[in-house]
Amino acid sequence: MIAAKAFRLALLAAGTAGGLSGAAYGLLNGQAGYARRVIGPPANDPLRGDGIHLPSGSGPVPRSDLSDGAEPLEFAVLGDSAAAGLGVDFQADLPGVRLARGLAEELDRPVALTTHAIVGTTSQELAAQVDAALLRPPKLVLIIIGANDVTSKLPVSACAELLGDAVRRLIDAEVAVVVGTCPDLGAIRPIPQPLRSIARHWSLALGRAQRRVVEAAGGRAVPLADLLSPEFLARPGEFFSPDRFHPSAAGYEAAAAILLPAMCSAIGEWRGGPLPPAPTRSKAAEARRPTSRIVARLNRRLHQRGNS
């Protein structure tokens, strides 16, 4: 369902912004159908790993197991299937669990994980997750969202503003917020070219807009596309789950490794030295051609075939 909607909007974006001819649009529509068949629907719901995680790496354990006076740090995860951890087979590989245990080790204190993330969520549904989190405000929130925003008919700026509103509400409640911005959908191999380039263009534009509004609202943005895309492109068999759409355990581990320092820093608990500045664009992004040039080239080829 997620992939199907993403491909439909990529087509919409290309058709309206890129000026596709009817023949080119038909080709991309066929490619979208092929990708949907290859990826298929999710085989099951994400695992759950909520509860208390300890510095020793164990958990979740009940609060009754904590020693007297031990006060866990409250940590909540909001967002879509990438935040929920769809694609892994073991609880320990969930991104929320990895990060809760990483926080517990860094802080040397228990961390209470609560996952509000739901498969298929867009920025339009994020407000409901914020409502749930603020019933008992945590100390720290991680939001990973964006891939499903490519399924909505709102412009990139509107999707980004909805995320910015969510971040502001949390910041106003004295919650530290870290956002993993939209991943690079162009790394998903089952999407054929040139549809993959269109999806890449759309997702990267959203990621840049998300970063601007998150930082303006007082949160910390981690540009997942810029930081992770080269790894996912170079080792797709290792970094994607069997559906070749959602990350594998290795993919989530790579994401957690770049998110954890930003999360510790957001609550003033990072002791690993200065954080490197996040790139404005990765080397992979610099090498990409604009979608408009791809669309123009595709139309030209189809026109030449029609006249031959």
pTM of the full predicted structure? 0.78
For the residues 147-174, what does the mean pLDDT come to? 90
Catalytic entry in 81, 197, 241, 248? 81
Catalytic entry in 80, 93, 226, 243? 243
Total domains present in the chain: 1
What is the percentage of the chain residues whose pLDDT exceeds 90? 46
Q: Looking at residue 84, what is its pLDDT? A: 95
Is the pLDDT confidence value at 123 over 70? yes
Higher-pLDDT residue of 113, 33: 113
For the residues 11-29, what does the mean pLDDT come to? 42
Higher-pLDDT residue of 285, 113: 113
Q: What is the mean pLDDT of the chain?
A: 79
CA–CA dist 243, 226 (Å, integer): 23
| Contact by Cβ (8 Å): 182, 209 | no
Catalytic entry in 53, 246, 248, 282? 246
Residue with the two structure tokens 């740090």:
73
CA–CA dist 70, 66 (Å, integer): 6
**Active site includes 243?**
yes
Binning pLDDT at 50, 70 and 90, where does residue 300 land? low
Q: Looking at residue 42, what is its pLDDT? A: 52
CA–CA dist 165, 266 (Å, integer): 19
| Alpha helices by DSSP H, the chain | 2-17, 22-39, 81-84, 95-107, 126-134, 156-172, 195-217, 224-234, 236-239, 249-266, 283-286, 291-307
Is the pLDDT confidence value at 110 over 60? yes
Q: Residue 57's closest CA among 117, 99, 89, 115?
A: 99
Dihedrals phi, psi of 10, to nearest 5 degrees: -60, -40
Binning pLDDT at 50, 70 and 90, where does residue 56 land? confident
Q: Looking at residue 33, what is its pLDDT? A: 45
At a CB cut-off of 8 Å and minimum separation 6, what does 49 contact? 60, 85, 91, 92, 94, 96, 97, 100, 113, 115
Is the pLDDT confidence value at 219 over 60? yes
Q: Looking at residue 147, what is its pLDDT? A: 85
255-275 pLDDT tens trace: 999 999 999 999 998 877 677
Write the CATH number for 294: 3.40.50.1110
CA–CA dist 30, 17 (Å, integer): 19
Is the pLDDT confidence value at 77 over 80? yes
**Active site includes 68?**
no
CA–CA dist 260, 160 (Å, integer): 23
Q: Residue 55: give the domain boundaries.
A: 2-307
For the residues 50-55, what does the mean pLDDT come to? 94
Q: Looking at residue 153, what is its pLDDT? A: 64
Q: Residue 97's closest CA among 60, 44, 141, 62?
A: 60
Torsion-angle region of 208 (φ positive above 0: left; ψ -120 to 50: alpha; else: beta): alpha
Q: Looking at residue 306, what is its pLDDT? A: 55
Is the pLDDT confidence value at 295 over 70? no
Binning pLDDT at 50, 70 and 90, where does residue 120 land? confident
Q: Looking at residue 7, what is its pLDDT? A: 47
Binning pLDDT at 50, 70 and 90, where does residue 127 land? very high
For the residues 134-145, what does the mean pLDDT come to? 97
Q: Residue 157's closest CA among 201, 120, 208, 199?
A: 208
**Active site includes 201?**
no
Q: Name the DSSP letter for residue 240.
A: B
